[in-house]
Amino acid sequence: MFIKERTDLNEVNVTTDVHTDVAVPAEKHAALGTIATILSTNRPISADELRDNLIAREDESSTGFGNGVAIPHAKVNGLTEPFVGVVTFKQPVAWDSLDGQPVSIAIVLVMPDQNGADKLHLKMLSKLARKLMDDDFIKALKDAQHDGSQMTKVLDRVL
């Protein structure tokens, strides 16, 4: 399922793409490659660059936040506006998460690689990380993981 909605984060348009029940490889680097291919479709960005940047960031430290959720993030050349891609997996992926649990929901932040994007990147990441410590928010994410429309509504509370 593919849904696009536009939300505002301090006057910046952020596109949210939601893809539910996606078959991805069981290994996180390979899963990030599949995610990059999906999220780069119909965008002026290279799937290879997005994959490489997601993997490079992942190799710095795991983006597996816990409770079955990862927040991979990357900057990409050629992008003019940030977007958030949500990909839920048919089968959980081993992710080296903080709690040791596999990931079934990836909330991917993709930012332009240009001046001024760092502040927005950190603000979005911080806001999302705070929400991911809220048990009610985690429950809402998990309840929506097979329903793209519902997932978009859940994320609209954050973005």
Q: Report residue 5's pLDDT band, with 50, 70 and 90 as the boundaries.
A: very low
- More confident site: 157 or 92: 92
Q: Provide the pLDDT for residue 121.
A: 66
Domains held by the chain: number: 1
- Where in the sequence is the domain holding 77, given as residue range(s)? 2-156
| Secondary element (H or E) of residue 43 | none
- The 3-class secondary structure across 2-34, one letter per residue, is EEEEEEEECCEEEEEEEEEEECCCCEHHHHHHH
Cα–Cα distance, 158 to 131 (Å, whole number)? 7
Distance CA 74, CA 52 (A): 9
Q: What average pLDDT does the segment 116-127 reach?
A: 73
> pLDDT: is 56 or 121 the higher one?
56
Between CA 113 and CA 100 the distance in angstroms is 31
Q: Which of 19, 29, 73, 121 is catalytic?
A: 73
Give the model's pLDDT for residue 82: 87
**Residue 73 a catalytic site member:** yes
Tens digit of pLDDT for each residue in 123-149?
787 888 888 899 999 999 999 999 999
What predicted TM-score, i.e. pTM, was given to this entire model? 0.88
Average pLDDT over residues 62-91: 92
Find how far residue 21's CA is from the centre of its chain.
Answer: 14
Task: Say yes or no to pLDDT of 8 above 50.
Answer: no
How many angstroms separate the CA atoms of 63 and 17, rounded?
19
Supply the CATH number for residue 122's domain: 3.40.930.10
pLDDT score of 114: 73
Arithmetic mean of pLDDT over the chain = 88
